[in-house]
Amino acid sequence: MQLHNKVFAKLPVEFPEELFEAVKNYISLLDVSWEQRIHPMSQEQILTVEEFVQSNFNQALPVSYKTYLKCMGYDDGDLMSSYFDSDDWKYFKPTNDSISEVLKRCSIPGQFYPFYYNVFAGLGFGFSPCTRSSEQIVVAKSEKLYCTSDTFTKFVLYLSFLYMLKRSLARLEKIKDSLENIPLDPSGTYYSRLIVTNVSKDNIVHIIDSLEENFSIQEYWYSSSKQFHVFDFDGIATDIQYTLARYIGFSDCRDFGMCIFSDSPYLYIDTMGCGNQHIKEIVCFLRNITSLQVEVDSIKKSKLL
């Protein structure tokens, strides 16, 4: 299934430099100009960031984040900057002479430094010397810190997948008029969004586990696991949603993909490459296992993706 690029999805995570090279190759499949639009952060500014982290947190900059800065730290071609609010991103993006001042203003001394921070919302995503892995993503919310099961490498690879999906859907939008008269049929492939309402935190894992078992879905490594809420540093789950959370899975035998997002009390399930019959099966299955309301928000023909 070309849209999902399974080879890309199964890459190992040990070598960030190779992964970012893979990101370039992956995105270039649909956007050949992307590589020309990205620009690295200057070596001087990277050194400033490294010195700030070393002196204030007594640790080296995470390899994955440093690689991101070296490859596209000045301009990432709308990879991460389009995911976050653009005005907030431009405000925070450390590309000016006062990079150390930006980091000081958005960090929590000795505990947290961000790769993104929204000053007005008091919400940031970054790193902490208190985590087991240096690249584990930590959430700062109103000056309190929370852990996630996510890493910076996973998040950036997910952004690449999301970038490609958006580009594919944008192409589909341009040709939608020519597809309007093509009837939905079991042999076609489609992009759909399903909405499950009144989903509790405990229901999410049960729903995903059931989908995996029934439709032979395999979770891919740039998924943020099945943790849609942050937890404290003792590993105790909270009721605070992790807004970057996502579940990405693929069914090799049925040849379709699934993205799941949570925005309490709603659970959004996007299917990609499904036949119309598969979509009906998934809807019926969800209604049977949850007794919750499941609605089909949209189905888009995607034969040309």
User: Which of 112-116, 128-132, 276-280 bottoms out in mean pLDDT, i.e. has the lowest?
Assistant: 276-280
194 domain residue, yes or no: yes
Q: What angle do CA 240, 293, 204 make, to 5 degrees?
A: 35
Average pLDDT over residues 9-38: 75
Residue 184: its pLDDT value, please?
Answer: 44
What does the angle CA 14 – CA 131 – CA 240 come to, to the nearest 5 degrees? 110
Indicate the residue among 137, 154, 171 that finishes a domain: 154
Q: Is residue 87 over pLDDT 80?
A: no
Residue 189 pLDDT class (50, 70, 90 cuts): low
Task: Give the mean pLDDT of 78-84.
Answer: 86
Residue 146: half-sphere exposure toward Cβ, Cα within 13 Å: 21
Are 145 and 196 members of one domain? Answer: no
Amino acid (1-letter code) at residue 71: C
**Residue 167 counted as domain residue:** no
CB atoms within 10 A of CB 186: 10
* pLDDT surpassing 80 at residue 125: yes
Tell me what the mean pLDDT of segment 8-23 comes to.
65
For residue 166, being part of any structural domain is answered with no
Q: Is residue 78 part of a domain?
A: yes
Q: d(Cα 173, Cα 283) in Å, to the nearest integer?
A: 24
86, 119, 154 — which closes off a domain?
154
160-176: pLDDT as tens digits = 888 887 777 666 555 45
Q: Residue 264: which CATH number?
A: 3.30.160.110
Averaged pLDDT, 115-132: 89
pLDDT at 295: 80
Residue 186: predicted pLDDT? 46
**Residue 251 domain-assigned (yes or no):** yes
Domain range for residue 187? 181-301
**Cβ count near 18 (within 10 Å):** 13
**Same structural domain, 144 and 195:** no
In terms of domains, do 144 and 74 share one? yes
Whether 217 maps to a domain, the answer reads: yes
**Given pLDDT bands bounded at 50, 70 and 90, which one contains residue 14?**
low
pLDDT for 290: 76
Residues 200 and 121 in one domain: no
Question: Is 150 in the same domain as 187?
Answer: no
**Residue 157 pLDDT greater than 90, yes or no:** no
Q: Domains in the chain: how many in total?
A: 2
143 by DSSP, 3-state: which?
Answer: coil
Task: State which H helix or E strand residue 106 sits in.
Answer: helix 99-106
Domain-embedded: residue 173: no
Q: Is the same domain home to 238 and 113?
A: no
Give the mean pLDDT of the chain.
80
* Residue 268 domain-assigned (yes or no): yes
Q: Do residues 145 and 185 share a domain? A: no
- The answer to which of 180-184, 223-227, 268-272, 296-300 has the lowest mean pLDDT is 180-184
- Please, is 207 exposed, middle or buried when counting C-beta atoms within 10 Å of its C-beta (0-12, 13-18, 19+)? buried
E strand spans, 157-265: 190-196, 218-219, 229-231, 237-241, 247-251, 256-263
